[in-house]
């Protein structure tokens, strides 16, 4: 239990105001904190009554308070103004207690300035909050757990076209088009089951509705908070119109850039792949004219065969360009017929090996019996002629290996073509099926950059797909999946 000495120390050291007053109103004791606040010495104050240092406008109120207190009525704290020795006023919150057995009034109080400071801080905090709210670059709304709008900022008014009074106490649905309200109601109910903050750009895009009936794409961020012990959410709404338009323009610019690159690759290919055979044709034809009557028949035939070969090269290149253009413009109509893919692969492999005359190990793995499949012969020829010729062209020059696998799955026929060649650089792999694009490591190996695009289009025309895996310096594997449509 505290001793009298403890009470005395507390009385002397406390920053709060304490005093004892006799029944006739004179000060008996005052603590140092009260003396400092009133700027009196203890002896000066001892000659005064308590009511003498009370503001004249407050005296009657205080006398009534003390009278009721002495009569036994409990009294709470009251605001009063005390008169300092220099005549200035000290606002205090004061409370008294009467001790009948001692016939003494105990008084305690504290300066009201501290309360006013708290109020000022609250007002300043609210002012800063409103300044932040009004100065925000996005629309901000405070909404309760019933979806009712409690507060909006200036940006909200500008964005939606409403006056502030038209939104306060309205349901948030007023800012949503009718077709979106039911869905939002479900999302809202789900949110309040587990309310959490969600940042902007989280993917919560929705369509917002202005007062004039116009709609616009918007993004929303949420911040959960408690106001007066009730759950609320602050919604930050941003108009996505400009950003989406910028994204669209960026996509168009990227597409235009790709078209320019495609055009550049096309012109480069034309300049090389057309000029070379044309130059040979022109030089051979010129030589035949100059040597007319002086050249042996077999030599003339040999030179004419060279012209035929170059003409065929040009014709094949034009056919590839024409095929791609026709397929992209109008699509390709399949001419399906029964084809034994294994026999086709064996024949095509033999044909291309003879054409390239390149030393290599060539292996085809096919089952003893394979079903006939309904496929387009022209497209199947384009698919595997390109894949097998690429494997031969790009495989190792001295220890070349080409492996062709065939597998029947439940709904697909899987054909893989593997080589141990130069592989495709990683940065070129994303463009491998684009027109006129060739890997940077192909060197002097001839090609138009159209083959793999034709392969992909031909496979997709059948409803199939193609995958590939390639490691520079180790080789490539292209895997074709064609729908299994067997003929029984």
Residue 7 has pLDDT above 90, yes or no: no
- Tell me the pTM: 0.42
Per-residue pLDDT reduced to its tens digit, 396-453: 777 889 999 999 888 889 999 999 989 999 888 888 888 766 777 777 676 667 788 8
pLDDT, position 370: 79
Query: Which of 51-55, 278-282, 391-395, 422-426 is the least confident region?
Result: 278-282
CA atoms of 416 and 345, how far apart (whole Å): 11
Into which CATH architecture does domain 4-111 fall?
Answer: 2-Layer Sandwich (3.30)
pLDDT, one tens digit per residue, over 311-325 is 666 666 666 555 655
Domain at 118-239: CATH architecture: 2-Layer Sandwich (3.30)
Quick check: 291 pLDDT over 80? no
The residue written with tokens 């000029």 in the block is 275
**Predicted local confidence at residue 200, as pLDDT:** 46
**Span(s) in the chain for CATH 3.30.565.10:** 336-483
Phi, psi at 240, each rounded to 5°:
-95, 0
Residue 161: pLDDT band (50, 70, 90) is very high
Distance separating the N- and C-terminal Cα atoms of the chain: 105
The CATH number, out of the four listed (3.40.50.150, 3.40.50.10260, 3.30.565.10, 3.30.470.20), of the domain defined by the range 336-483: 3.30.565.10
Dihedral (CA of 236, 237, 242, 244) sign:
positive
Q: What is the mean pLDDT of residues 20-48?
A: 90
How many Å apart are CA 37 and CA 279, to the nearest integer? Answer: 110
Residue 105: pLDDT band with limits 50, 70, 90: very high
What is the share, in percent, of the chain residues with pLDDT greater than 70? Answer: 73
Residue with the larger pLDDT of the pair 195 and 353: 353
CATH topology of domain 244-330: Helix Hairpins (1.10.287)
Q: Say how far apart CA 17 and CA 464 lie, in whole Å.
A: 91
Q: Where in the chain is the domain with CATH 1.10.287.130?
A: 244-330
Give ∠ CA 114-116-119 in degrees, rounded to 5.
115
d(CA 19, CA 26): 10
Quickly tell me which residue has 């300035």 as its tokens. Answer: 113
Beta strands in 85-214 (DSSP E): 89-99, 104-111, 139-144, 149-152, 205-209
Contact 136, 153 (CB under 8 A): yes
pLDDT of residue 46: 85
CATH 3.30.450.20 residue ranges of the chain are 4-111, 118-239
Number of other residues whose CB lies within 10 A of the CB of residue 269: 20
52 dihedral zone (left: phi>0; alpha: psi -120 to 50; beta): alpha
Sorting pLDDT into bands at 50, 70 and 90, what band is 286? Answer: low
CA 233 to chain CA centroid, Å, is: 22
The pLDDT assigned to 141 comes to 86
Question: What pLDDT digit, counting tens, does each position of 245-275 carry?
Answer: 888 888 877 777 766 665 555 555 555 555 5
Higher pLDDT, 481 or 442: 481
- State the CB neighbour count (10 A cutoff) for residue 68: 13
pLDDT, one tens digit per residue, over 35-59 is 999 999 988 888 889 999 999 999 9
* Contact indicator for 18, 36 with CB cutoff of 8 Å: no
Categorize the per-residue pLDDT at 283 as very low, low, confident or very high, splitting at 50, 70 and 90. low
Radius of gyration over every alpha carbon of the chain, rounded to an integer in angstroms: 47
Task: Report whether pLDDT(152) > 60.
Answer: yes
332 CB-side CA count, 13 A: 23
């Amino acid at each position: 239990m505290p001793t009298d000495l403890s009470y005395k120390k507390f009385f002397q050291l406390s920053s709060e105001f304490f005093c004892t007053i006799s029944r006739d109103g004179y000060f008996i004791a005052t603590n140092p904190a009260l003396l400092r606040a009133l700027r009196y010495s203890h002896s000066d104050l001892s000659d005064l009554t308590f009511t003498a240092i009370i503001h004249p406008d407050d005296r009657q109120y205080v006398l009534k308070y003390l009278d009721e207190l002495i009569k036994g009525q409990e009294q709470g704290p009251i605001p009063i103004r005390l008169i300092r020795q220099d005549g200035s006023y000290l606002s205090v919150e004061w409370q008294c207690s009467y001790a009948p057995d001692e016939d003494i009034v105990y008084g305690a109080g504290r300066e009201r300035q501290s309360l006013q400071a708290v109020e000022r801080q609250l007002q300043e905090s609210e002012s800063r909050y409103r300044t932040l709210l009004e100065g925000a670059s996005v629309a901000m709304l405070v909404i309760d757990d019933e979806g009712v709008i409690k507060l909006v900022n200036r940006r909200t008014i500008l964005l939606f076209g409403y006056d502030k009074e038209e939104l306060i106490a309205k349901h948030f649905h007023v800012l949503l088009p009718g077709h979106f309200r039911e869905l939002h109601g479900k999302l809202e109910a789900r949110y309040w089951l587990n309310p959490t903050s969600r940042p902007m750009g989280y993917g919560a895009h929705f369509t917002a509705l202005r007062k004039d009936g116009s709609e616009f794409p918007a993004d929303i961020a949420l911040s959960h908070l408690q106001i007066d012990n009730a759950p609320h959410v602050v919604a930050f709404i941003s108009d996505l119109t400009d950003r989406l338009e910028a994204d669209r323009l960026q996509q168009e610019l990227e597409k235009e850039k790709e078209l320019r690159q495609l055009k550049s690759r096309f012109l480069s290919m034309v300049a090389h792949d057309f000029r070379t055979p044309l130059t040979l044709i022109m030089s051979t034809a010129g030589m035949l004219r100059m040597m007319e009557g002086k050249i042996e028949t077999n030599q003339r035939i040999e030179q004419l065969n060279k012209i035929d070969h170059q003409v065929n090269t040009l014709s094949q290149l034009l056919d590839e360009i024409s095929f791609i253009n026709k397929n992209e413009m109008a699509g390709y109509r399949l001419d399906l017929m029964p084809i034994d893919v294994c026999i086709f692969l064996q024949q095509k492999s033999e044909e291309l090996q003879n054409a390239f005359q390149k030393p290599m190990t060539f292996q085809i793995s096919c089952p003893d019996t394979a079903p006939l499949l309904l496929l387009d012969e022209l497209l199947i020829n384009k698919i595997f002629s390109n894949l097998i010729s690429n494997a031969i062209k790009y495989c190792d020059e001295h220890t070349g290996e080409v492996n062709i696998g065939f597998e029947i799955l439940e709904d697909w026929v899987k054909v893989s073509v593997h080589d141990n060649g130069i592989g495709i650089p990683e940065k070129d792999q994303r463009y491998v099926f684009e027109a006129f694009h060739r890997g940077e490591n192909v060197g002097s190996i001839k090609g138009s950059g159209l083959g793999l695009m034709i392969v992909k289009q031909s496979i997709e025309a059948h409803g199939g797909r193609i995958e590939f895996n390639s490691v520079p310096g180790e080789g490539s594997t292209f895997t074709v999946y064609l729908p299994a449509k067997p003929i029984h």
